[in-house]
């Protein structure tokens, strides 16, 4: 939601600096020309996840070749705390990628559990959804979509010093607000299971990890995507950047 007509805001891989001239990707050129019907010289905002956000002028070289002339920095890069979302792939994972990006997730980790039915995971497509959401929600970074891993490999490669909150749909978890109010902001990740839930052996592993916490989201059976969004929202509200009273810069 925004109060005024949204400006155009795009993610680029290139380095951003005053005076630099970048070539828009084919997809962005199409979007600027045919979707947004940009005028030559129109200003857009660019960000690359490393060097803040910059105003750039759109220059049409030919009908297909669009360039950005980078002008002035509009925002310096912020640093966001590590907040991961590990999820057993489900039908609506595009949606999970979009919402996780809006909710400030820094990495998305597809994990193949025993009851995961989805065989084909298009991480490129998930990355595009995450980028598009980042463009629209005014983030300065983009969550990184990792390659799918098996449950065992995921657990074995969990980084030291990171907390893992897993959504325990069997009813044994601590209420999420209680768990988070007792916690501090630290690098962490949430994990959701597949449509059929975790199997008992996976729950046993998850419960015994020294860095894990089982959390519960009440008496109703939530879909995986609802649980992911709900848990991330609670984290932002209690420990993340929703705690501060500073309003965002109105655009």
- The first and second tokens of residue 128, run together, are 């595009």
> Could you say whether residue 77 binds a second copy (CB under 8 A)?
no
User: Which of residues 77, 136, 144, 185 is near a second copy by CB under 8 A?
Assistant: 136
User: Which of residues 105, 111, 191, 217 is near a second copy by CB under 8 A?
Assistant: 217
d(CA 116, CA 90): 7
Please state the closest distance from residue 248 (CB atom) to a second copy, in A.
4
Please state the closest distance from residue 81 (CB atom) to a second copy, in A.
13
Q: How many residues bind a second copy (CB under 8 A)?
A: 62
> Could you say whether residue 36 binds a second copy (CB under 8 A)?
no
Residues 177, 238 contacting (CB under 8 angstroms): yes
Binding mask 175-194 for a second copy (x = CB under 8 A): xxxx-------------xxx
Q: Which of 44, 49, 47 is nearest to 6 (CA)?
A: 44
DSSP label of 50: S
Tell me the CA distances in angstroms from 4 to 7, 213, 223, 249, one per residue in order.
Answer: 9, 41, 34, 12
d(CA 4, CA 2): 6
User: Which of residues 25, 42, 185, 226 is near a second copy by CB under 8 A?
Assistant: 226
d(CA 205, CA 227): 20
Please state the closest distance from residue 133 (CB atom) to a second copy, in A.
8
Burial (Cβ within 10 Å: 0-12, 13-18, ≥19) of residue 211: middle
Binding residues among 79-118 for a second copy as defined by CB under 8 A: 99, 102-104
Please state the closest distance from residue 8 (CB atom) to a second copy, in A.
14
Enumerate the β-bridge partners of residue 84.
Answer: 107, 189
Please state the closest distance from residue 238 (CB atom) to a second copy, in A.
5
User: Which of residues 27, 162, 201, 242 is near a second copy by CB under 8 A?
Assistant: 242
Residue number, 70 or 231, with CB nearest to a second copy: 231
Q: Which of 151, 170, 173, 102 is nearest to 131 (CA)?
A: 102
Residues that bind a second copy (CB under 8 A): 1-5, 99, 102-104, 136-139, 167, 169-178, 192-198, 216-224, 226-227, 229-231, 233-234, 236-238, 240-251
């Amino acid at each position: 939601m925004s109060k005024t007509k949204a400006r155009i805001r795009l993610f680029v891989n290139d380095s951003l600096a005053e005076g630099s001239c970048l070539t828009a990707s084919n997809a962005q050129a199409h979007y600027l020309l045919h979707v947004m019907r940009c005028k030559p010289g129109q200003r857009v905002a660019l960000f690359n996840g490393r060097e803040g956000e910059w105003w750039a002028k759109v220059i049409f070289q030919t009908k297909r070749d669009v360039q950005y002339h980078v002008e002035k920095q509009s925002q310096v890069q912020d640093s966001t705390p590590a907040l991961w979302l590990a999820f057993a792939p489900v039908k609506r994972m595009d949606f999970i990628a979009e919402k996780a990006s809006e909710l400030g997730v820094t990495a998305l980790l597809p994990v193949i559990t025993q009851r995961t039915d989805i065989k084909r995971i298009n991480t490129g497509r998930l990355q595009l959804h995450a980028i598009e959401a980042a463009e629209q929600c005014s983030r300065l970074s983009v969550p990184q979509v990792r390659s799918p891993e098996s449950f065992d490999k995921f657990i074995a490669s969990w980084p030291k010093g990171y907390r893992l909150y897993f959504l325990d749909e069997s009813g044994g978890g601590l209420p999420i607000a209680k768990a988070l109010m007792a916690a501090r902001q630290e690098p962490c990740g949430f994990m959701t299971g597949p449509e059929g839930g975790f199997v008992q052996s996976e729950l046993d592993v998850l419960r015994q990890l020294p860095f894990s916490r089982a959390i519960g989201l009440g008496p109703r059976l939530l879909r995986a995507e609802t649980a992911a969004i709900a848990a991330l929202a609670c984290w932002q509200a209690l420990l993340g950047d929703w705690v501060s009273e500073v309003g965002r810069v109105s655009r």
